[in-house]
């Protein structure tokens, strides 16, 4: 009988790439990981790893084993979810990865609701971009992640992930309320000479914003580059830049900048993701309910 723990170590090596990365993620030493995988080789009777330079890579036989390991761990996670759902209380630890706008706007209300309804549930939240978050979800670093999708920038489908829509959030042009860069009425094409603050170009938001500007006939003059929405808001408030902001930013805060609709009023899609095996687990279900509760409060207060 193959040892499930050792199978998981092999799977983690396939996902993370190096023994050192697996050791860091699971709080082992690299030598301990090597010993466990050597024992797995003895159990299977086949070679699972081959040395490449200073590292190792999985053999074809190891990759076959990883495919079956994914199925085994998925079945075990379904069993855990069903056991947890049979209990009257939601307990344990839920590890969440989210990006800033949701953390600012919806997470506090969700956490308050969970503290009231499920005091035995511990929620740990990490601010993380969607790409890294979904990789962490599949590596079991997180139990629930937030994703976002922009028009013309579809999020790639991910095998083994159960997604659920949270909201559709309009994106608008944000301009200083006063000063040389303010406008009573503004279209995107009017802002070719305006300084901008945008997300980095390799991020979904940054790619989408730059594409939008190029489609309007100009390359944006990006003076500031940051994924920090509060910094973006501050630079617009103080008259130094324009940007594109989601409406969710203005939850529980006054609108201190000029906001203008974009052509077609584009919206980003916000969604949550959990592993298929954990989709029925009461802890992520409770957090998803909490986010929807936060969204209702945000819309009621807008």
Structural domains counted in the chain: 2
Q: Assess whether 165 and 55 both reside in one domain.
A: no
Q: Per-residue pLDDT tens for 29-76? A: 888 888 889 899 898 888 988 888 878 889 899 999 988 988 888 888
Residue 58 lies in domain: 4-83
**Largest CA-CA distance found in the chain, in angstroms, rounded:** 74
Q: What are the tens digits of pLDDT across the range 7-39?
A: 888 888 888 888 888 888 777 888 888 888 989
- pLDDT band at 302; cut points 50, 70, 90: low
Q: Do 75 and 118 share a structural domain?
A: no
CATH number of the domain where residue 256 is located: 3.40.190.290
Whose tokens are 């069993």? That residue is 79
Name the DSSP class of 89.
S
Do 58 and 181 lie in one domain? The reply is no
Question: 278 and 157 in one domain?
Answer: yes
- State how far the Cα of 79 lies from the Cα of 278, in Å rounded to an integer: 9
The domain boundary, picked from 23, 49, 83, lies at: 83
Together in a domain, 66 and 109 = no
- For the cut 90, the answer to whether the pLDDT of residue 111 exceeds it is yes
Name 92's Cβ contacts closer than 8 Å, sequence gap at least 6. Answer: 84, 120, 121, 122, 283
Indicate if 100 and 65 belong to the same structural domain: no
Q: How far apart are CA 135 and CA 30, in angstroms?
A: 22
The verdict on 40 and 68 lying in the same domain is: yes
Looking at 39, 57, 83, the residue that finishes a domain is 83
């Amino acid at each position: 009988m193959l040892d499930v723990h050792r199978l998981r170590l092999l799977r983690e090596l396939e996902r993370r790439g190096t023994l050192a990365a697996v050791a860091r993620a699971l709080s082992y030493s690299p030598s301990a990981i090597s010993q466990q995988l050597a024992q797995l080789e003895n159990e299977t009777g086949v070679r699972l790893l081959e040395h490449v330079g200073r590292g190792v890579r999985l053999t074809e036989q190891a990759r076959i084993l990883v495919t079956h390991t994914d199925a085994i761990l998925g079945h075990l996670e379904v069993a855990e979810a069903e056991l947890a759902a049979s209990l009257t209380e939601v307990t344990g630890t839920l590890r969440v990865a989210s990006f800033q706008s949701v953390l600012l706007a919806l997470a506090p209300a969700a956490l308050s609701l969970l503290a009231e309804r499920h005091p035995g549930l511990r929620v740990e939240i990490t601010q993380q971009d969607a790409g890294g978050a979904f990789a962490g979800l599949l590596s079991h670093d997180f139990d629930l992640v937030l994703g976002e999708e922009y028009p013309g920038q579809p999020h790639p489908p991910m095998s083994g992930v159960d997604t659920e829509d949270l909201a559709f959030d309009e994106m608008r042009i944000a301009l200083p309320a006063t000063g040389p860069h303010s406008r009573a009425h503004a279209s995107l094409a009017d802002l070719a000479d305006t300084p901008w603050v945008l997300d980095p170009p390799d991020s979904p938001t940054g790619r989408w914003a730059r594409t939008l500007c190029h489609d309007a006939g100009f390359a944006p003059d990006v003076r500031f580059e940051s994924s920090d929405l509060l910094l973006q808001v501050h630079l617009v408030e103080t008259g130094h830049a324009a940007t594109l902001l989601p409406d969710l930013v203005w939850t529980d805060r006054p609108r201190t900048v000029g906001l203008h609709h974009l052509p077609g009023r584009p919206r980003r899609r916000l969604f949550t993701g959990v592993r298929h095996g954990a989709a029925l687990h009461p802890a992520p279900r409770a957090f998803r309910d909490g986010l929807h509760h936060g969204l209702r409060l945000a819309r009621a207060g807008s």
